[in-house]
Chains A and B, each alone.
Chain A
Amino acid sequence: MIYEVTVGDDRLRVDVAADGRFLIDDVVIAAEVAEIVRGRQWSVRLGQHSHEVTVLTHDPLRLLVDGDEVEASAVDERAAAAARGAGAARGGRHEVRAPMPGLLKTVHVAEGDLVERDAPLMTLEAMKMENELLAPARARVVRLAVGAGMKVEGGAMLAVLEEAD
């Protein structure tokens, strides 16, 4: 299977052949790869070079490469082609998501409200700090998924706004 891979700013095409050999940009790589901790940590020897690569997080994929953190991605070529075909996000619609896990102290808006750009939508308390979530644009609150006093996970959908003219 062929993967489109990014490592930091680098883009590579990695082919894992059926016999387990690796081809990078169509060149066979002499790599000795050992999975040290299942799904988490690999030792990779490339010629005389020795590297340790750890998967820090999966989503986004962040790797620790010999002490340096780098963001990476690997998409199988067919899936990548399909994704490019799909349309871009609908314009004018904003999903407000929790930037971090925490407690919603206050919700300043209600469904149907028209809010100005940068108007406070809600106050999220996380790690004892209060963070105001602001409207990204002049918009109408078309959906409010949460209420004050609720505990939310990072990335949780809080509200949907639709840009107003």
Chain B
Amino acid sequence: MRVIRTCREMGIRAVAVYSDADRDALHVRLADEAYPIGPASPRESYLRVEELVEVARRAKCDAIHPGYGFLSENADFADAVQAAGLVFVGPPGDVQRRLGEKTQARRLARDVGVPVAEGTPDPLRDLDHARREAKRIGYPLMLKAAAGGGGKGLRVVASEADLDGAWRMSSGEAAGAFGSSALFVEKLIERARHVEMQILADAHGSIVWLGERDCSIQRRHQKLIEESPAPSVDDALRERLGDAAVRIARAAGYRNAGTVEFLVDERGGFSFLEVNTRLQVEHPVTELVTELDLVALQLRIAAGEPLPLRQHDVQRHGAAIECRVTAEDAWRGFVPATGRVALLRAPAGPGVRVDSALFEGLTVTSDYDPLLMKIVAHGADRAEVIARARRAVRETVIAGLPTSLAFHAHVLGEPDFVAGRYDTGYVATHWPPPPSLRLDDSAVIAASLVAVLATRGRATRRRVAPPDGVWSRAGREEALR
């Protein structure tokens, strides 16, 4: 959807692919052409490299944009696209390989003088090897998928007792998500902030950094809220992060849009985490602050054009916050939820951008990522954007299934978040909130009336609904006539 929008604006025809589960999806309806590529299971549809390339060839595409899930960080896919004579909108396969294998990326960062957290230099051979390395580095630590990203296969291991179970789960997840079960361990930096730097690199050796995003508000290592500027980053640190990101990108021969992730500790020190060799879900935050269309720039870079801006041309205005609204029940530990969207009201008004694939009637299944809607706000400063994002979240209605909206509404009014005092441990310590929420008396009365009307209405409808509806009978009679 996001890509189709920019294509439209640039006069480029857009071709979509879809699995059986996505037949009714918005991206299919908005595209100029759409092709089915198989059943719901990603392995039989969205992850089938040859099928995708074949569709692109059949549709006479010039280029493939991989989006930000599925094959977007798959070097073999990038190679296959190129081998078919098509343009891959993203870094070439060899660059992805250089950065996609995490232990190799860490080595590359260290070689260009960027600090990295202590960890194993190579993927671990087995559980025994992990145990020895873990003892050397010391607990608590992180067990990570060497081929991975996006939090999959990633686990915090507090002590040796937990290593066995974590190893089993992580390698299983990693194998499922990335086709490789290789793991490595890294020292856990406590009370760290997850800060990432957006970069752009063209095919002519020009690289710029656009600014950082703080993505520390996460649960299960999945981001829920991102903002720019990061409250913990001052101008000097921003320059250092930007410089480090560009050095890594240059060493890797990077091309197209990418994100270099760092952990920033309490004293403003930082260490390199990984490079995401794709556009990220949270890219709108940077788009609002820089007033750039990152997808358009991706397409221009892929077409071989030089970057239209140099480092000193990059300007940042105000602040932006993104809330990732997911099909997860915020009140029940974010368990995945499914259901049919019965009623939808997206937020609007000044400074609000909504990227969403929702529509009334859509059945949300557990087949894919739980992301439903991104609510992104832009304001003159952090205080204004927080108030605006909170206003936007609170006017949003998604009825029919549990969502994460209550979490977003709470955090955007929570004193520690508002003061910028948060790190990657925030969700664990601040959610669920103490049961202090008290609606005012008038709201309680209104709610109680609706509770009765909704309950009674359902009971009545269930009782009066005849097994063979009067309308379907009328319809049949109509057909017989």
Q: Indicate if A165 sits at the interface (CB-CB under 8 A).
A: no
Most chain B beta-carbon neighbours within 10 Å: one of A12, A29, A56, A123: A56
Interface 9-mer from A86-94, A99-107, A109-117, A139-147:
A99-107
Q: Of B337, B339, B397, B452, which one neighbours A16 at CB under 8 angstroms? A: B452
With known contacts A40-B343, A58-B458, A8–B438 Cβ distance under 8 A: yes
Within 8 A of B (CB), among A43-64: 44, 46-47, 49, 51, 53-58, 61-64
Given A70-B439, A101-B338, the answer on whether A57 and B448 have CB atoms closer than 8 Å is: no
- B217 CB to nearest chain A CB (Å): 18
A31 contacts the other chain (CB 8 A): yes
A55 CB contacts on chain B under 8 angstroms: 399, 450, 454
Contact of B450 among A12, A44, A132, A153 (CB under 8 A): A44
Choice from A9, A22, A49, A128 contacting B435 with Cβ under 8 Å? A9
Residue B447 CB within 8 A of the other chain: yes
User: Which of B31-39, B88-96, B113-121, B168-176 is found at the contact surface with chain A?
Assistant: B168-176
User: In the complex the two chains form, is A40's CB within 8 Å of B399's CB?
Assistant: yes
- B336 lies within 8 A of A127 (CB): yes
Expressed in whole angstroms, the Cα–Cα distance for A41 and B399 within the complex equals 9
Rounded to whole Å, the gap between the CB of A59 and the closest CB of chain B is 10
Residue of B nearest to A72 (CB): B451
Task: Give the chain A neighbours of B402 by CB distance below 8 A.
Answer: 56-57, 62
Residues of B within 8 A of A16 (CB): 452, 456
Q: Is the CB of B443 within 8 A of A125?
A: no
Residue A68 lies at the interface, judged by CB distance under 8 Å to chain B: yes
Q: How far is the CB of A11 from chain B (nearest CB, A)?
A: 9
Closest to A31 in B: B449
Q: Is the CB of A61 within 8 A of B451?
A: yes
Q: Is A33 an interface residue (CB 8 A)?
A: yes
Q: Which of B220, B342, B448 contacts A5 (CB 8 A)?
A: B448
CB pair A100 B335 closer than 8 Å: yes
Identify which of B152, B370, B447 gathers the most chain A CB atoms within 10 Å of its CB. B447
In the complex the two chains form, what is the Cα distance from A128 to B368 in whole Å? 8
**A95 touches B (CB below 8 Å):** no
Q: Which residues of A contact B437 (CB under 8 A)?
A: 8, 68, 70
Q: Determine the distance from Cα of A14 to Cα of B111 in the docked complex, in whole angstroms.
A: 71
For chain B, the bracket of interface size reads 35 or more
Interface on chain B toward A: helix, strand, loop, or mixed SS?
Answer: helix
Q: CB distance A63 to B451 under 8 Å?
A: yes
- The total of Cβ contacts below 8 Å across the A-B interface reads 177
Complex Cα spacing A3 to B470, Å: 31
CB pair A58–B454 under 8 Å, yes or no, is yes
In the bound complex, do residue A7 and residue B442 qualify as a contact, i.e. CB atoms below 8 Å apart? no
A1 touches B439 (CB 8 A): no
In the complex, B394 has a CB within 8 A of chain A: yes
Chain A residues with CB under 8 Å of B394's CB are 66-68
Contacts A9-B435, A58-B458 known; A42 to B177 CB distance under 8 Å? no
Q: Is the CB of B447 within 8 A of A70?
A: yes
Residue of B nearest to A39 (CB): B457
Check: B253 CB closer than 8 A to any chain A CB.
Answer: no
Q: Give the residues in chain A near B447, CB-CB below 8 Å.
A: 7, 51, 53, 63, 65, 70, 72
With known contacts A51-B442, A154-B335, A5–B173 Cβ distance under 8 A: no
CB distance from B390 to the nearest CB of A (A): 9
Question: Do A39 and B366 touch across chains, with their CB atoms under 8 A apart?
Answer: no
Per the bound structure, the CA–CA distance linking A136 and B108 in Å amounts to 47
Q: Which of A120-144 contact B (CB under 8 A)?
A: 123, 125-130, 132
Chain B residues 420-434 with CB under 8 Å of chain A are none
Tell me whether B400 is interfacial, beta carbon within 8 Å. Answer: yes
Q: Is A44 touching B397 in the complex (CB atoms < 8 A)? A: no
**Is B479 part of the contact surface with A, judged by Cβ < 8 Å?**
no
- 0/1 interface trace, chain B 338-369, chain A, CB 8 Å (1 if under): 11001100000000000000000000011001
Q: Are A7 and B339 in contact (CB under 8 A)?
A: no
Known contacts A54-B397, A64-B397, A128-B173; is-contact A46 B442 (Cβ 8 Å): yes
B337 → chain A closest CB, angstroms: 7
Q: How far is the CB of A118 from chain B (nearest CB, A)?
A: 11
Docked Cα-Cα span, A66 to B369, in Å, equals: 29
Q: A54 contacts which chain B residues (CB < 8 A)?
A: 343, 397, 399
B163 on interface, CB distance cutoff 8 Å: no
A7-B451 in contact (CB<8A): yes
Contact, CB under 8 Å: B457 / A31: no
Give B149 Cβ to nearest chain A Cβ, in Å. Answer: 12
Give the complex CA separation of A57 and B400 in angstroms.
Answer: 5
Task: Indicate if the CB atoms of B336 and A24 lie closer than 8 Å.
Answer: no
| Cβ–Cβ contact A53 & B399, under 8 A | no
A7 to B447, CA, bound (A): 7
**Bound-complex Cα distance A47 to B331 (A):** 32
Closest chain-B Cβ to A39's Cβ sits at a distance in Å of: 5
Asked if B395 is at the interface of the complex by the 8 Å CB criterion, the answer is yes
Residues of chain A lying within 8 A (CB to CB) of residue B455: 3, 61, 73-75
Minimum CB–CB distance for B262 against chain A, Å: 25
Q: Is the CB of B452 within 8 A of A128?
A: no
Nearest CB of chain B from residue A150's CB, rounded to whole Å: 13
- Report yes or no: A102 in contact with B336, Cβ–Cβ below 8 A: yes
The CA of A63 and the CA of B331, in the complex, are separated in Å by 13
Would B337 and A154 count as touching, CB distance under 8 A?
Answer: yes
CB neighbours (8 Å) of B457 from chain A are: 39
| Contact assessment for B446 and A53 in the assembled complex, using a CB-CB cutoff below 8 Å | yes
Other A-B pairs beyond A46-B445, A74-B451, 7, CB < 8 Å: A8-B435, A10-B439, A53-B447, A57-B402, A61-B451, A66-B394, A67-B409
11 contacts between A and B (CB under 8 A): A1-B456, A7-B439, A8-B435, A14-B449, A14-B452, A16-B456, A51-B446, A54-B399, A69-B331, A100-B337, A127-B366
Which 7 A-B residue pairs are closest in the complex by CB-CB distance? A67-B394, A51-B446, A44-B446, A53-B450, A74-B455, A74-B451, A72-B451
